[in-house]
Amino acid sequence: MIFDLIKKRRSVFPVQYNSSPIAKADIEKVLEVANWAPTHRKTEPWRFKVLLGEAKERLGQFLSKKYQETETRPKQIKIKKLLENPRRAGAIIAICMQRDAKESLPEWEEIAATAMAVQNMWLCCVEMGIGCYWSSPGLIQYMGDFLDLNEGEKCLGFFYMGHYDEEIPEQSRTPVAEKTVWLE
């Protein structure tokens, strides 16, 4: 049931991943479900760049170097994390958004459609038993220096994926009644 799947969705971080690779067919399935997200005016703004193998290593090197160049007091622990997280992941998908060239709708709607595509990806990963999370570090503003981005395309973050062994704890939410106003 979709309700149960939604309630089981969690962030599973690279430090929790084991060394099992992610099958290309599984990545393709995750991308296919992303492609079925709702999209206003059918702009389908989501774009994905899949990083595997050495590309993950290059991403870690790039992020670490860019952090050290742009931070006045870089922290060693952050440098280490930027290097190691891509290595730990079975796959990383750069989440990008291609702005409608005509700008026929507000940018937030294009971002929202891309976020819905990522939610589809996340739910698919839950169903397949793959851990994942969406990282959106401030360094994404420099991704045009690393990725081949088209005019009007921007990187919104990274979708880290990996197999994991540990039990993921259940979560709770405050009651929706505390967040809802009924108007009649």
Note the pLDDT tens digit of each residue in 31-81.
999 999 999 999 999 999 999 999 999 999 999 999 999 999 999 999 999
Chain mean pLDDT for the chain: 96
136 among annotated binding-site residues = yes
Q: Are strands 153-162 and 131-135 parallel, antiparallel or unpaired?
A: antiparallel
Is 110 in a helix, a strand, or coil? helix
Phi/psi-derived region of residue 161, left when phi > 0, alpha when psi is between -120 and 50, beta in every other case: beta
As given in the structure block, the two tokens for residue 153 are 């395309």
Q: Find the mean pLDDT for residues 106-114.
A: 97
64 among annotated binding-site residues = no
Question: CA distances (Å), 43 to each of 79, 115, 144, 148, 154, in order?
Answer: 37, 14, 22, 20, 15
Residue 165 in contact with residue 18, Cβ under 8 Å? yes
73 among annotated binding-site residues = no
41 among annotated binding-site residues = no
Judged against a pLDDT cut of 90, whether residue 1 lies above it is answered with no
**Residues shown for the chain:** 184
As given in the structure block, the two tokens for residue 23 are 């099958």
As given in the structure block, the two tokens for residue 165 are 């062994």
135 among annotated binding-site residues = yes
Question: Where in the chain does DSSP place strands (E)?
Answer: 46-51, 91-98, 131-135, 153-162
**pLDDT class for 3, splitting at 50, 70, 90?**
very high
User: Distance between CA 182 and CA 94 in Å, rounded?
Assistant: 39
Alpha-carbon torsion (17, 22, 28, 29), positive or negative: negative
Share of the chain above pLDDT 90, in %: 95
Q: Find the mean pLDDT for residues 85-96.
A: 98
As given in the structure block, the two tokens for residue 109 are 């709607």
Alpha-carbon torsion (57, 62, 64, 65), positive or negative: positive
88 among annotated binding-site residues = no
Residue 178 in contact with residue 151, Cβ under 8 Å? no
Give CA torsion, residues 172, 88, 66, 30, to 10 deg: -60
The superfamily CATH assigns to domain 2-179 is NADH Oxidase (3.40.109.10)
134 among annotated binding-site residues = yes
